[in-house]
Amino acid sequence: MNIPFYKYQGAGNDFILIDNREETFPKESTSFIQKLCHRRFGIGADGLILLESHAKYDFVMVYYNADGNLSSMCGNGGRCIVHFAAYLGVINQKADFLAPDGLHTATISGETVALQMNDVEQIERFDKYTFLDTGSPHHVQFVTEIDKYPVFKEGRRLRYSKYGNSGANINFVEKLNENIFMVRTYERGVEDETYSCGTGVTAVAIAMYEQGETTKTSIKLQTKGGDLQVDFKKEGKKYTNVILEGPAKQVFKGIWKE
């Protein structure tokens, strides 16, 4: 079985992209997806994304975490699949596609993709953290000296102790100035810190505005893998026109021989 694949990264968040419009990929095999994502015995990635056909929209995004299981929305993965769709000739500069959390639109300019995320209304604020869902569930918590913070240890502890088996992504944040925040994220399904997380920085931007840490509606997020930007509007209690923008780059392509 020879499977053509493409390796992508969006601000260091890396993915295996596969054109599955002919529906030949063994998508029910969790162990096979785990193998492809393994960084020693496979291609290596934070997740695997299938591009599939849709009768009404440009394409469907099917997303798997590195553990081989279907997952909720991935913002950086969503931006990467838009670039991939343009590379395949499925779209030109604009996309309307179905993702795990519903319909998304996006625009592409070179290696920059701006992805419209879902509206956010349900935000839970607590003394030490904020919880919200931006396509995936996110815990947002302030820390100091974020470069030295034990993200893996504390992220893993919170992911399981507070949120159980279903888990949540854990974001640690440090404010740099009025509209720039540094973010580090422990991702469920990857079960490690990733270089960036698209739904995570989206959650951080909204949480920072909700908490009064910024009055800006265009927020820059610095991650280990690069910079991302989140723009939004606040309408009553709802955050609308949420746009996640940043780089999406094809790194290499190859053929998996099984």
Cβ contacts of 76 within 8 Å, gap of 6 or more: 10, 11, 13, 15, 196, 197, 198, 246, 248
Catalytic residue among 61, 74, 113, 168: 74
Q: Which of 18, 197, 243, 244 is catalytic?
A: 197
**Interior CA angle at 147 toward 142 and 148, to 5°?**
95
* Catalytic annotation present for 80: no
CA distance 168 to 87: 33
Contact 21, 81 (CB under 8 A): no
Q: Tell me, yes or no, if 37 is annotated catalytic.
A: no
At 126, give phi and psi (nearest 5°).
-125, 175
Question: How many angstroms separate the CA atoms of 223 and 241, rounded?
Answer: 23
Which are the catalytic amino acids? 74, 197
